[in-house]
Amino acid sequence: MRTIFSDHQLVQHYLDVEVALARVQAKLGIIPTEAADAISAKAVVDNVDFEQMRERTEIVGYPILPLVEQLSDWCDDGLGQFSHWGATTQDIMDSADVLQIREALSLIEADLVAISKVLAELAERHKSTAMAGRTHLQHALPVTFGYKCATWLSSIDRHLERLSELRPRVLVGQFSGAAGTLASLGDQGLAVQDALMDELGLGRPSITWHTMRDNFAEVTGLLAMVTGTLGKIGLDIMLMMQTELGEVLEPFVPGRGASSTMPQKRNPISSELLLAASKIVRQHHGIMLDALVQDHERATGPWHTEWHALPESFIVTAGALGQAHFMLAGLEVNTDAMSRNLGATGGLIVAEAVMMGLAPQLGRQIAHDVVYDCCRSQLDSGGSFLDALLAHPEISGVIGREQLEALVDPVNYLGAAPDMVDRYLAGHHHDS
């Protein structure tokens, strides 16, 4: 990802757009064929004097004029003067950005598919692995670890759908001239635009988008959501890794997560990075949303913020995806700890199950009240929930010990969690 957004790759894309423009204009008879040939032969990034380009860009304010000046000098017989014919700086820069985005989205997609596959495997393997479900950080009801993984997976899969859906809107080139009207090319402007997009393999713009930037904001919106999902996964893993829980551990690598002063530490390094990435990319997306507000036909500053926010969003997202795949692919799942934690309240986690089991005999509200009394009694006395239930006369009069034992076993109250996993995985299409 860093290579895609490097200066060399970006400048090569500038040159790629200039070459494509020269080729299509030669085919349309707008510039000489020999000029297009000369431009095509010379327009390689290795020919660029980057120090000269830097100095001139500081003066001009944009990199395209300094680049075109060099390109013109590279071509013999003045043929380089036919480069950049009828184009404006933003045409070249926007189209180059789209070429970068096209490559970058392919990397994002590959990483999402890889993570999707790992999560599908975890969901299948642990669809019946009972653990405590938690709401407000407290024990709620039993769930399964596979169910938790499948919920993570569902978000990753939706991101893959979003990525596919946004491509036609985002992978659209730019070529509209100084004020967006292609006036400098007379009646051939739209023909050049169409041919250029075909040459670059990009979509044809329905109309100029020099100062309409919702397409790029949609890209960072996707990246913000992707890293947001990864941050949620990372937060769950971090909480489950706490010493008191120990339900999962990030992959063991000697020295990874170690403390400079506490030898016993095994910190959740990847999860921490996922959480940080979610915050960074979210802020960059805020900048991209701010850049939607641009003046007239060419912006006086908002456009410039994209030059930082867009590449950094992709780079941070790529890093987060790499960390997520490493962490999930090697995740150590401690099923014994999950079982131990599930039973930590002595059966209170399935108080709802007992209430619903008594409701047909006592009525729902009365069942709720007597089970609530037993919960308070168990918490006050420290005994078992089962004993508290058996000691309550209203309960013992309508249900036997064997039935109560079944009701207070958390493994018997997983609801449809395993079936939900099976149903989701049956429709899962990103596993290869």
> Which of 312, 341, 370 marks a domain boundary?
341
Is the predicted pLDDT of residue 298 greater than 70, yes or no?
yes
pLDDT at residue 252, rounded to an integer: 83
> Are residues 77 and 95 located together in one domain of the fold?
no
Same domain as 236, residue 99: yes
Whether residue 101 is found in the same domain as residue 73? no
Report the pLDDT averaged over residues 388-401. Answer: 86
Give the residue from 341, 368, 393 where a domain finishes: 341
Mean pLDDT of 267-282: 96
**Top-confidence residue, 299 or 98:** 98
Cβ atoms of 182 and 20 within 8 Å: the answer is: no
Q: What is the DSSP letter of 82?
A: G
Residue 14 has what pLDDT? 98
Residue of 136, 206, 296, 432 marked active site:
136
- Which CATH number is 31's domain given? 1.10.275.10
Look at residue 182 in the predicted model and tell me its pLDDT: 96
192-231: pLDDT as tens digits? 999 999 999 999 999 999 999 999 999 999 999 999 999 9
Question: Same structural domain for residues 80 and 215?
Answer: no
For residues 296 and 374, state if they share a domain.
Answer: no
106 labelled catalytic: no
Predicted confidence (pLDDT) per residue in 72-104, tens digit:
999 999 999 999 999 999 999 999 999 999 999
Q: Are residues 378 and 402 in the same domain?
A: yes
User: Would the pLDDT of 71 be above 90?
Assistant: yes
Comparing CA positions, the residue from 58, 54, 86, 93 lying closest to residue 70 is: 54
Same domain, 100 and 180: yes
Quote the pLDDT of residue 262.
66
Q: Are residues 253 and 129 in the same domain?
A: yes
* pLDDT of 255 over the 80 cut: no
Which of 6, 164, 259, 381 is an active site residue?
259
Same domain assignment for residues 336 and 273: yes
pLDDT tens digits, one per residue of 313-346: 999 999 999 999 999 999 999 999 999 999 998 8
Judged against a pLDDT cut of 90, whether residue 396 lies above it is answered with no
Quote the pLDDT of residue 432. 42
Asked whether residue 262 falls in the same domain as residue 363, the answer is no
- The domain boundary, picked from 341, 365, 384, lies at 341
Q: Are 192 and 25 in contact (CB under 8 A)?
A: yes
CATH of the domain at 393: 1.10.40.30
In this structure, how many other beta carbons lie within 10 angstroms of the beta carbon of residue 356?
Answer: 16
154 is catalytic: no
Percentage of the chain modeled with pLDDT above 70: 97
Residues 391-402: what's their mean pLDDT? Answer: 86
Alpha helices in 242-333 (DSSP H): 269-290, 302-329
Q: For residue 265, what pLDDT is reported?
A: 72
- Mean local confidence (pLDDT), 258-270: 76
Tell me: pLDDT of 263 over 80.
no
Q: Give the pLDDT mean for 289-299.
A: 94
pLDDT at 258: 57
Rg of the Cα trace of the chain? 30
The answer to whether residues 66 and 57 touch, using CB atoms and an 8 Å cutoff, is yes
Domain count within the chain? 3
Residue 259 has a pLDDT of 63
Q: Which domain holds residue 34?
A: 7-85
Look over the chain and give the mean of its residue pLDDT values, rounded to a whole number. Answer: 94
